[in-house]
Amino acid sequence: MATFYIYGITKDDGNVSDPDAAIDKYHYIDSTDDKCYWDYRQNVVEKVKSGSVVAHTYRDGKVGALCIVKHSYIYNIDYLKTLPNGDPTDNLSSLPEM
């Protein structure tokens, strides 16, 4: 199973009140080859949902919070959400925008 270490995000241009649901692309390091990639929200979400990928935030060279799949009934989309780990800055919406 691969691990994606998400180090950056790209938000869509829509007016979305949930900052995690506003993320359109994830920028990550793939543990299988240690290369940097980016991919659209739905592609990454599908990999996490299928169990083929585990995703964590990655800031300043440290593995952070675990990401899980959530569903927004307001926007009717699935997206990644970080599980609280005691560090309020260790979440997807606080990662650098790329």
pLDDT tens string 45-73: 999 999 999 999 999 889 999 999 999 88
Output the pLDDT for position 14. Answer: 64
Question: Does the pLDDT of residue 13 top 80, yes or no?
Answer: no
Residue 67 domain boundaries: 2-94
Output the pLDDT for position 75. Answer: 82
Residue 24: how many other CB atoms lie within 10 Å: 16
Output the pLDDT for position 78. Answer: 94
pLDDT tens string 15-47: 667 777 889 999 999 999 999 999 999 999 999
Domain count, the chain: 1
